[in-house]
Structure 1
Amino acid sequence: MMPLHKCAVIIPTKNAMPGLGDVLSQVLSQETPWPYEVIVIDSGSSDGTTEFVRALSVVRLIEIAPETFGHGRTRNQAIAAADAEFVALLTHDAEPCDQQWLANLVSAAEQDPEIAGVFGRHTAVPSASPFTKADLDRHFQSFGNGPHVVSKALDDKRYEQDPAWRQALHYYSDNNSLMRKSVWEKHPYPDVEFAEDQIWAREIIEAGFSKAYAPEAMVYHSHDYAPMEQLRRAFDESRNFKKYFGYRLSASPLSALAAVIKNVAEAFLNAPDETRYGPVTLDQKSLRARQRGALIVGHFLGAHHERLPETWAQWLSLDHRLFRS
C-alpha cells in the first residue's frame, strides 16, 4: 500500500521551549507540492513542551517515559509510526532557514532510488561567535567541494585504506537529515549511546547504498559551548569514535600538548574574516582559545578513557549519563 504522505518530519524533544515554537512554525510553513506530516516524540518534558505541541492539531505527539529514551531507539519508534515514503529528522534547536528546506531534502533523495540518506547544511544562528560561524561554513564547504552523491563504489580501495575518506562518506547528522523509509525498514538506527546517525550512514554505505548532500536544505543550528561543556562533549566524541569506528582522535600527550599550543595561538592570531563574520573582540578570542584547548584535552582523555578511574569517566561523559538514565 502506498504511504499516505510523501514525507514525515520527526523532532525528538525534551524541555524544548521556547525555541521549539520557531522550529515548528518554520516546519509547518514548508512549501511542497505533496502532503507531509509532522511528528514530535517527547521523553518527559516538564516545561510546557507537550502542552504546546498538543495544542497544535496538525502535529502528532508521541509521549514516552524518560527512562526509555535512546538516541537511535527513540527515533526508530517515531520513524515506525510515520506513514511516509521519506522521513526527515531535526532536533528541537535546528530551525529550517526557509520554506523550501523540506522539498530540497526530498529532491536530493529522488535523484536516484539508491540514495538511502540525505544530509543538509547547518549555518550558525545570528548571535553565534564569528569563530563558530566560520567553523560551520568551513565544515560544510568541504562537502560542497566534492561530489554531492557518494557511495563506497566511487573508490572501493580508497574506502578501505583512507580513514578521512571513510569519515566523509559516513558523515550524517540528525540535526538536519532525511532517509528513505524502505531502507530504514531493513537498516534501522542502532541502539547506541552516541553517533547513531553516523553509524547508520556507515551501514547503508557498506550495504551498497548512496548518500547525498543537499546544501540548499539549510537549518540554523550552532552552539557556543562553555569550555567545560566543550571538554565533556569532546570526551564523548573521542571515546565513542574509538569504540564504534576505531578512530583515535588524539594519540599522545606530546601531540595533544602541541595541538593545544597551536590552537590557542591561532585563536589570537588568525581571527575569522571580519568583513564576512563581523568584528572579533578580545573576549571572543580568549573564549575561543579556552574552547579549543578544552576540545583537544577532551579528545585526548576520550581516546585514553580506559586508563581513567571509572568515576572520572562517568563524570566526564554527558551522553553516558543520559544513556544510563
Structure 2
Amino acid sequence: MDVTIVIPTKNAGQILDGCLHAVFHQLTEYSFEVVCVDSGSSDETLKIIKKYPCDLLEIRSEEFGHGKTRNLGASRGSGEYIVFLTQDAVPVNEHWLQEFIDAMKIDEEVVAGFGKHCPYPDCNLFDKRDLTAHFKNFGEINTIYAIDDQERYEKDENYRHMLAFFSDNNSCIKREIWTIYPYPDVDFAEDQIWARKMIELGYKKVYCPEAMVYHSHNYPLKTYLKRYYDEYKGLYNLHKYIIAPSRKVLLKMYLANVKSDFQYLKSISLSGYMTCYWFYYSLIRNLYRYYGGYLGGHYHEYSEEKKKQLDKKYSQQLMQRKA
C-alpha cells in the first residue's frame, strides 16, 4: 500500500461526506486506504463513514488525544506514506493526493509535507485575507524547507515559526520516520511540535501548494477568547512565544491591528453597513485575540491555583476533554 489516509472524526456532520467523496474520487497512480478514528459521534458521522470503504475504528471520547489518536489511526494502516486530514478539510480537486506524494518524493531527506488551505466561499473577510497571505508566504511551487542557517534559527523567531509550521488539517509524513518518531501525546500543536523536532534533527519538509484542501472556519465571536487562550498557551510551549510583554504593549498592538483592519475594509468595495459590521467584528475578535493571547502566553508565570482557575474559565481544550 502506498498511502494511509487518517481522518479523526467526531460529530462531523455532512461536511465529512464531502471530504470522503473527494478522497475516494482521486485520480492517482498511488494505492491508498482510509482509516477513520471516531471518538463518540452521536450524529450521522458513523453512517456517513460506512457509505465508503473505510476502516472504521471507534474509541471512547475520553480516549481521544490529538497526537495519540492520529498515531492510533496510522498504526492501523500499512501505507508507505501517512496522510492526515481533518473531517472538515475537503480536497479541492481529484489531483490532491497525486500532487502530495509526488512532492514528498522530490528529495529523499523530505520526511513530511503540508498542503495549501483554501478558504471556503463563505469564509469571513479577515480569515480569507489572512489564510491566503499565510500560505502564499511558503511559495507558489513545491518548496523544501530545512535549517540552512543555524545562527538565524536560534535568533530569528519568525524563521523558527516558518520552519516549524505544519498542519494536520492537510499533511503527509513518511511511515519509516513515524515509526521512530510518532506524534507526542499532547493537548495542543502535536503537528508543529513534531515538525520542529524533525527540522532540528536535520530532516526536511516540503510545502505543496497543489495539494489543496478547502479549510476555514467561521466561529461564533464568543468562542474566540477561549480559542486564542489555548492557542497562545501552545505557542509558548512550542516557541516560548509571548504575544506582548506587558498590557501597555498589548493595547498598542490591539489598536494597531484594528487600524490595519479598518484600512483593509476601506480598500475593498463594501457598503457602509457592511463596513460598519466588519469593523465591529474586528474590534471584538481582536479584543479576544489579544486578551486571550496575553493570558495564554503568560500562563507559565501564574500560580498553580490561578492556572486552574484560568483553565476552568477559558480553556476550550479542557471543556472538550470533559465533554
**Residue pairs, 1:173-184, within 5 angstroms:** 173-184=167-178
> Which deviations, in whole Å up to 9, do the C-alpha atoms of 1:143-178 show, x marking residues without a partner?
1179810112x1122112212111110100000111
- How many aligned positions are there? 317
Q: Is the 8 A contact 1:96 1:218 kept in 2?
A: yes
In the TM superposition, what is the alpha-carbon distance from 1:309 to its structure 2 partner?
5.4
User: When the two structures are superposed, what TM-score results if normalisation uses the length of structure 1?
Assistant: 0.92
> Which deviations, in whole Å up to 9, do the C-alpha atoms of 1:229-273 show, x marking residues without a partner?
111111111112212332222221011111111222222232286
User: When the two structures are superposed, what TM-score results if normalisation uses the length of structure 2?
Assistant: 0.93
Distance 1:147 1:208, change over 3 A: same
Distance 1:126 1:166, change over 3 A: same
Aligned-residue identity in percent: 36
Q: Whole-Å Cα distance in 2 between the matches of residues 48 and 242 of structure 1?
A: 37
SS in 1 for 2:7: strand
Which sections of structure 1, spanning at least 5 residues, go unmatched?
none
SS in 1 for 2:282: helix
| Equivalent residue, structure 1, for 2:165 | 171
| Equivalent residue, structure 1, for 2:27 | 31
SS in 1 for 2:116: strand
Q: Is the 8 A contact 2:141 2:209 kept in 1?
A: no
1:132 to 127, 130, 142: 127
2:227 is the alignment partner of 1:229:
no
SS in 1 for 2:131: helix
Q: Whole-Å Cα distance in 2 between the matches of residues 217 and 309 of structure 1?
A: 40
Which sections of structure 2, spanning at least 5 residues, go unmatched?
none
| Equivalent residue, structure 1, for 2:194 | 200
The amino acid that maps onto 2:184 is P
The amino acid that maps onto 1:311 is Q
1:269 to 245, 263, 268: 263
The amino acid that maps onto 1:16 is A
Ranges of 4+ aligned residues in structure 1 off by more than 4 Å: none
The amino acid that maps onto 2:252 is A
| Equivalent residue, structure 1, for 2:117 | 122
2:11 is the alignment partner of 1:10:
no
Distance 1:317 1:272, change over 3 A: farther
Q: Is the 8 A contact 2:142 2:209 kept in 1?
A: no
